[in-house]
Amino acid sequence: MRAVAFIAGLMLPWLLGMAAIAAMRGRLRTDGTAGDVAWVAGAGYLAGAFLLTLWMRLLSIAGVRFGVLPIAAPIVVATIALACFAWRRDGAGLSAAVRGALQALVTSPGLAGSARLFWWFVVGWLALRFVLLGLAVSWQPLYPWDAWIQWATKARVWYELGQIAPFALPDGWFAANGAAYFDAAPFYPPTMPLLQVWANLALGRWDDALMNWPWWQIDLALVLAVYGGLRRLGTSAASALVGALVVASLPLANAHVALAGYADLPLAAYFTVATLAFLHWAATRNTSDAVLAIVLVFACTQIKNPGLFWAMTLVPGVLVTLMPRHGLKFAAAAFGLALVLLAVLAQANVALFNYRLHLDFDPAWRALGESYFLLANWNLLWYAAIAVALLAWRQLFAPTLAPLTVVVIAGLLFLFVVFGFTNARAWVIDQTTVNRATLHMAPLVAVFLILGFRAFAASWAATHPAPAPRASTADTLPAA
């Protein structure tokens, strides 16, 4: 019974998010070829998990003790209501879309020959990968350093107390006289610890291994959303599958699932899927995509403190989208203004989120190059990113690709500032924070690879049309 309750508890936020997205958006594609179902499933878990934690925070504010019934009952009601609304509007379409997606999973949509074999191989590899990662999550006790000194500390306390209790720095802890708790990062947002609390509540006991299953779910949701998001942006099934494969095969992402407990992979997932929702809104002006993007961007700020800065990297993309004629100029001006502001702040030796700005530009280039190009953290991601940028440099700022391009530039600029102008340069040398911070945008770089190469291929095909087939002798002879 505990296993059934645990699985049901893990599925509850997934069903809530899927029902919410299905209720917001229009009809799904019923042929299973556009990735709509994969998108709803992937983005749905991320949205539902965040909504679950918001509900838990409201319960804590209201003084209601955490428990399965107080948390789950309203969510079940909301899920049923949203699902009924979506079903009444387009029940037949939803059923057909799910059937089409399942059929496409097996029949490889639009592919034949070696491409179909590639499809089956990748789908099988992904399935095996998630099975093995699931086993690792199930039997690996809480292990990573930060996971048990600044994240799971909150989960343990809140699980035992049945509510969110404040954490404080040493001075505040002494002054609180027992009214606060202490760990290494008392001011981090509560989202990820609350997901661990919910997993333990669903299980019925504290388990520092099984409570990390949301990391597995987030990774699966990210892969599904990348595939579905790329399909919705017009890529082929094979290209979208390659994008999902790149994201799923990132070695550091795998490590953050198998050794769950850090908030970096969740932040990467929310940031990437928020950007995909934004890109689809930029192309279609679909209100549901705008709402989803806003929810996921807000979630970024509630997962980890740097999420606020990653959310701000979407602002240049919004400018480019809303002002197609002058948006790039405004974005360039915003980048310049940000650098000037940085120079001013750096002279005052200001501390922001435990990063101390100081105008002492001395990045650890060698260690940074080793991390990106020599060590086994990213496979060939950054080599491919440079190659695609060089191939598609003429299309990078075309209307269809410019919003994504400026978001990626803003993200790289953020990393450049952090590792060049703050005390974080010390964490480049020891290969710690540099990799975790880069993970925040690595899946989005994979999306950039696919969309950038597609833009290059389309431009190349337009300027280098295939030669017309030569007419045969029989075609040139007059009819008898």
Q: Is residue 174 within 8 Å of 181, Cβ to Cβ? A: no
Predicted pLDDT at 357: 61
Please check whether residue 34 lies inside any domain of the structure: yes
**Domain check: are 137 and 248 in the same one?**
yes
Predicted pLDDT at 434: 85
Can you give the residue range of the structural domain that contains 448? Answer: 313-461
Q: Please, what is the Cα angle at 65 between 299 and 205, to 5 degrees?
A: 85
Rounded Cα distance, 416 and 419, in Å? 5
**Domain check: are 249 and 356 in the same one?**
no
Please check whether residue 392 lies inside any domain of the structure: yes
C-alpha 100: how far from chain center: 25
Please check whether residue 448 lies inside any domain of the structure: yes
| Secondary structure, 3-state, the chain | CHHHHHHHHHHHHHHHHHHHHHHHCCCCCCCCCCCHHHHHHHHHHHHHHHHHHHHHHHHHHCCCCCCHHHHHHHHHHHHHHHHHHHHHHHHHHHHHHHHHHHHHHHHCCCCCCHHHHHHHHHHHHHHHHHHHHHHHHHHCCCCCHHHHHHHHHHHHHHHHHCCCCCECCHHHHHHHCCCCECCCCCCCCCHHHHHHHHHHHHHCCCCCCHHHHHHHHHHHHHHHHHHHHHHHCCCCHHHHHHHHHHHHCCHHHHHHHHCCCCCHHHHHHHHHHHHHHHHHHHHHCCHHHHHHHHHHHHHHHCCCCCHHHHHHCHHHHHHHHHCCCCHHHHHHHHHHHHHHHHHHHHHCCCEECCEEECCCCCCCHHHHHHHHHHCCCCCCHHHHHHHHHHHCCCCCCCCCCHHHHHHHHHHHHHHHHHHHHEHHHHHHHCCCHHHHHHHCCHHHHHHHHHHHHHHHHHHHHHHCCCCCCCCCHHHHCCCC
HSE at residue 364, side-chain half, CA atoms within 13 A, is 20
Rg (CA), the chain: 24
Predicted pLDDT at 468: 62
Rounded Cα distance, 463 and 457, in Å? 10
Please check whether residue 304 lies inside any domain of the structure: no
**Domain check: are 219 and 355 in the same one?**
no
Rounded Cα distance, 196 and 10, in Å? 10
**Domain check: are 206 and 72 in the same one?**
yes
Q: How many domains does the chain have?
A: 2
**Domain check: are 319 and 392 in the same one?**
yes
Each of the 480 residues of the chain gets a pLDDT tens digit; together they read 789 999 999 999 999 999 999 999 866 665 556 789 999 999 999 999 999 999 999 999 999 999 999 999 999 999 999 999 999 888 877 888 888 888 877 777 778 888 889 999 999 999 999 999 999 999 999 989 889 999 999 999 999 999 999 999 888 888 777 778 989 889 999 999 999 999 999 999 999 999 999 999 999 999 999 999 999 999 999 999 999 999 999 999 999 999 999 999 999 999 999 999 999 999 999 999 999 999 999 999 999 999 999 999 999 999 999 988 777 887 788 777 777 776 666 666 666 666 666 655 666 778 888 889 998 899 999 999 999 999 999 999 999 999 999 999 999 988 887 777 766 666 666 677 889 999 999 999 999 999 999 999 998 888 877 666 665 554 454 444
Predicted pLDDT at 477: 47
**Domain check: are 7 and 150 in the same one?**
yes
Please check whether residue 295 lies inside any domain of the structure: no
**Domain check: are 322 and 261 in the same one?**
no
Q: Is residue 4 within 8 Å of 68, Cβ to Cβ? A: no
Sign, CA dihedral 475-476-478-480, equals negative
**Domain check: are 167 and 43 in the same one?**
yes
Please check whether residue 320 lies inside any domain of the structure: yes
* Token pair 């994969």 in the structure block, residue: 38
Predicted pLDDT at 93: 79
Sign, CA dihedral 246-240-224-299, equals positive
Predicted pLDDT at 480: 41
Predicted pLDDT at 333: 82
Q: Is residue 142 within 8 Å of 212, Cβ to Cβ? A: yes
Length, in residues, of the chain: 480
Please check whether residue 224 lies inside any domain of the structure: yes
Q: Is the pTM of the predicted complex or chain greater than 0.85? A: yes
**Domain check: are 192 and 319 in the same one?**
no
Nearest alpha-carbon partner for 452 in 397, 411, 383, 414: 397
**Domain check: are 374 and 258 in the same one?**
no
**Domain check: are 378 and 239 in the same one?**
no
Please check whether residue 412 lies inside any domain of the structure: yes
Predicted pLDDT at 405: 96
Predicted pLDDT at 179: 79
- Which whole-number Å values give the CA distances from 95 to 32, 91, 233, 234, 315, in the listed order? 11, 6, 23, 23, 37
- Which whole-number Å values give the CA distances from 378 to 131, 197, 462, in the listed order? 22, 31, 33
**Domain check: are 345 and 231 in the same one?**
no
